[in-house]
Structure 1
């Protein structure tokens, strides 16, 4: 029942965001521009996306080696693609789906492959944080203006900001002191123990990177994945005449906002991606109509079309591939 409720809420959030984004948009004009896109750039971006997925699968296989498992990169790639497909149905289900797929293909224990996924997700979050900071540094004037306008003039009041900051610090201090005084009792609560175990698992997963035979290869692929993701987004911008002249910095802003949107708890970033990307591109001279058109086009290609095509093909291949059984592990 809980899972059903989460799914319904996720759909409701996605639907609400889509309504808000498209309520003032001419959908016929949007569709005409998407039909007139230069699809040779879509083909190139599809190849780049597949390369990024292969790199992610290679990194995952690399992390399983210290645990005593050596799956082929072809099979880990299929599992990664099936995972992305699962995310379109249930938010955050992709990690479970790809670990389950690899268990079915290579008989690698689910908990082992999932631990490696936790570690790589932490690395990806760190890269995204670096990209966010880089984007803020390079486009501070544009982005600061956008966020001030977005949240309203009241946030330009320094006294209000200082007051909010002070209130947050006071509340945080009070919560910390309350925890210290009641630590023994709180530590016995099932919820506390569950959270503590999750945090320990995340830490253990991240520290497992130290056992890699070639840690620099892990670092290279972590950076490479995100560079290719960025290039894929930039290449797709060339497909629409209205966005073909966007600068690399504009593409970086779109990519960062899109990545945040895709991380939102909605199916495949639906709604959240359109809202964030469609809102931010007006800073680069695009109209609201053209901004939403670009956001829709990028998400349709990267977040839906590529994911469905690659994912379905990968899933069908998993049905016909011979299953391996581990020996002596």
Structure 2
């Protein structure tokens, strides 16, 4: 029931954003421009996307090694692709789907691989923060009004924020002392023991990044993933005449905003991606119509078509591949 409610709320948010973004857009013109795009650039972007997904899978393998697992990079890539496909249906379900798929194909315990996924997601957040900071430095004059207007409302009342922080800290302290007082009784509870085992597995996977056997390869693939993400976005600009002259810095801005949009809790970033990218593109001289056209084209190719095709193929392959069991 709770998951169904979350799904409906996510769908409602996406629907509102789609309506708000497209309400003044000529959909016939948008469709005609997308049909006339140069799809050779789309093919190149698809190849770059596969490189990025393979690199993400390889990095995942590197994170599983310290725990004694060395799964096939090919099968791990399939698990990654299945996970991305699952995100099109249920937001944030991709991590669960990819770990479940890897368990099916390689027998690696779910909680172990999931812990590694949590660690890699945190690393990706750090990379994104670096990109946001770099983007603000390079495009400060252009972006300052947008960001200050947005964040200004959030931090309008610092006293209220401080009060919330104090209340949160007090609640955590209270919870800690309640736990310590009843620790022995709580630890004997079967449900607690089950949760503790799962959390232990998560922690093992999460902390595996500290014991990497090849940290140089890990850093290389982290960089490669994000470089491929950027280039696969940038090359799609050349598919549309209206955006072919946008600079790499403009592409960085659009890429960063699009990444934030894709991270929003909506199905495959629908609505949130279009709103953020469509809004930011006008800063580079494009009309609202052309901005939404670009956002729709980028999202359709990268966030829907590539993910759906790769995800379906990967899922079908997982149905015929045998389980190799735990690979240590």
TM-score under structure 2 length normalisation:
0.89
The 5 A counterparts of 1:104-253 are 104-148=104-148, 155=152, 164-173=157-166, 175-177=168-170, 179-180=172-173, 183-185=176-178, 205-253=205-253
Q: Distance in 1 between matches of 2:200 and 2:20?
A: 40
The alignment status of 1:103 with 2:103, answered yes or no, reads yes
Who is 1:275 aligned against?
275
Q: How many matched pairs?
A: 318
Given that 1:179 and 1:186 are in contact with CA atoms closer than 8 Å, whether structure 2 keeps it comes out as: no
Of residues 293-302 and 116-125 in structure 1, the stretch that sits farther from structure 2 once superposed is 116-125
Q: Secondary structure at the match of 2:213?
A: coil
**3-state SS of paired residue (1:245):** coil
In structure 2, relative to structure 1, the CA distance for the partners of 1:115 and 1:105 (3 Å cut) is same
The answer for the alignment partner of 1:7 in structure 2 is 7
Q: Residue 308 of structure 1 aligns with which residue?
A: 308
Does the 8 A contact of 1:85 with 1:307 survive in 2? yes
**Could you say if the C-alpha distance between residues 166 and 272 of structure 1 is closer, same or farther in structure 2, counting changes exceeding 3 Å?**
same
CA distance in structure 2 between the aligned counterparts of 1:269 and 1:82, rounded to whole angstroms: 17
5+ residue gaps, structure 2, are 187-191
TM-fit CA distance, 1:224: 1.1
Deviations 1:192-223 (A, max 9, x none): x9xx9899887654432121111121111111
Would you say the 8 A contact 2:66–2:211 is kept in 1? yes
When residues 172 and 73 of structure 1 are mapped into structure 2, their CA distance, relative to the original with a 3 A threshold, is same
2:326 aligned counterpart, secondary structure:
coil
Task: Identify the residue that residue 90 of structure 1 maps to in structure 2.
Answer: 90
Distance (whole Å) between structure 1 residues aligned to residue 312 and residue 200 of structure 2: 35
- The answer on whether the counterparts of 2:104 and 2:323 sit within 8 Å (CA) in structure 1 is yes
The answer (yes or no) to whether the contact 2:67–2:205 under 8 Å persists in 1 is: no
C-alpha deviations, 1:30-87, integer Å up to 9, x for none? 0000001111110100000000000000011111111111111100000100000000
| CA spacing shift, 1:324–1:176, aligned 2, 3 Å | closer
What is the CA RMSD across the aligned residues, in angstroms?
2.6
CA deviation vs aligned residue, 1:266-323 (integer Å, no higher than 9, x gap): 1100000000000010000000000000000000000000001111111111111222
Conserved 8 A contact 2:114-2:205:
no
Distance 1:106 1:230 in 2: 31
Q: Which residue is 2:258 aligned to?
A: 258
Once the two structures are superposed, what CA deviation does each residue of 1:231-280 show, in whole Å capped at 9, x if it has no partner? Answer: 11111111100000001111001000000000000110000000000001
Tell me how far apart the structure 1 counterparts of residues 56 and 175 of structure 2 sit (CA, whole Å).
43
Aligned to 2:50: 50
